[in-house]
Chain A
Amino acid sequence: MVGPVNYSIWLAVVLVELVSLVCLLWRRAFSQHFTLLLYLCSCLATDIGNFSILKTSGYDSNAYFYFYFYAESMLTICLYFVLMNLYSHVFSDMGVGKYIRAGAMLILAGTAGISYYMVATSASRFVTHFVVELGQNLYFVGVVLTYLLWGAMAKLRENRTRLMQLVLSMGVYVSLSAGSYALNNLYPNHGFWQYYFPITSMWLPASWAYTFLKVPEDARLATASVLVPNQ
């Protein structure tokens, strides 16, 4: 059943997302980073849906399980849009935005297809297994894409501090999520996950709030100072 800890975590998550949304609007960065706004609104909508199902059906119900993981998959797709937005900012001077969007869509469709194939050919064929597998694979592709983006930024000597912090915080989040999903896939029946996933979901909105609140748009930072020790 839902206890005071669940309530507190849920409230903290919603508050952090709201603060991040306000920071984004206050700094008037929504036109430049519209996908971030889309992601935060989707997170808020998911949180409200999650909570109402959790309250009516409980944590151990199938309804909660299905809603949680399918909503997570939708959020991961929104995260792909954020990643595409970051790619288009980094490669804005080269005019390759169209190709990036097409490539990301292909990767997204490919990951979903492979996840479905893996579950369909496995012995159990559980739909519930598919959503966990899909989440794990989507996040892992996110890790690879973010890693490639960070590598390109280092190569291009990208020095926009805000963009740098947005990409790095995204890298932390997708790596953490991919690792957690993989571990959840290995050890699914543990009560710990009901607290762990909502807590980790606070990282991205919290880091975005910090970036938009503290880092000015024109701030610059040498990529070397982040990559090379003692420089």
Chain B
Amino acid sequence: MMAVIIFVVSILTLLQFFVSYSRSLIAESRGHELSEQAREICGLTARTAAGHQFRRLSELIALCPESGGDGSTLLVVSAYFHLLSFLRRLSAWSIPSAAAWIESERGGCTYAAAVVLDRRIAYNRTIMAQQTSHLI
């Protein structure tokens, strides 16, 4: 009985801590100003991003070599995005009013992914520039 109670309470706190941790990563990425080129590639305007662009951005990120340490951010944000997508499907018939909040959260995940992509593009450009200067 005790183990069941601990299991249920732990799952609830795990969800809360995980959501807060993911939100802290997203809030942190909001402080990053996207470059003009990254916005163009991602199809984003100002600081808003739509949830449906997340998958495309993830595919683009997979094409860029990692710039060091951002893979774990993407993993957590990706897990949060999938949790939100699951909740969206669930809330469609149970709590329709939650849809707007879930969509804005998914947008936050997309923005965080765009920041990762932007950093990777910048990193790859630097590497390319270094290689070109060595060749010349």
Contacts and interface: CB of A to CB of B under 8 A. Distances in A.
Interface stretch (B20-28, B39-47, B53-61, B126-134): B20-28
Per DSSP, chain B at the interface is helix
A210 B69 contact: yes
A208 to B, nearest CB: 11
A182 B17 contact: no
A229 interface: yes
B35 interface: no
Interface range for A: 35 or more
Contacts of A213: 68-69
A154 B120 CA distance: 33
Contacts of B28: 161, 215, 219, 221
Contacts, number: 96
A225 B23 contact: yes
A175 B21 contact: no
A56 B52 CA distance: 52
A168 B27 CA distance: 14
Contact of A136 (B6, B23, B30, B68): B6
B103 to A, nearest CB: 10
Contacts of A168: 17, 20-21, 24
B52 to A, nearest CB: 19
A207 interface: yes
A206 interface: yes
Interface range for B: 20 to 34
Nearest to A132: B3
A164 B6 contact: no
A104 B3 CA distance: 23
Interface in B62-76: 68-70, 72-73
Interface of B: 2-4, 6-7, 9-11, 13-14, 16-18, 20-21, 23-25, 27-28, 30, 68-70, 72-73, 101, 104-105
Interface of A: 118, 136-137, 139-140, 143, 146-147, 150, 161, 164-165, 168-169, 171-172, 175-176, 178-179, 181-183, 185-186, 206-207, 209-210, 213-215, 219, 221-222, 225-227, 229-230
26 contacts: A140-B6, A140-B9, A161-B24, A168-B20, A168-B24, A171-B16, A171-B17, A172-B14, A172-B21, A175-B11, A175-B13, A176-B14, A179-B6, A182-B3, A183-B7, A186-B3, A207-B21, A209-B69, A210-B72, A213-B68, A214-B70, A221-B28, A225-B23, A226-B20, A227-B20, A229-B105
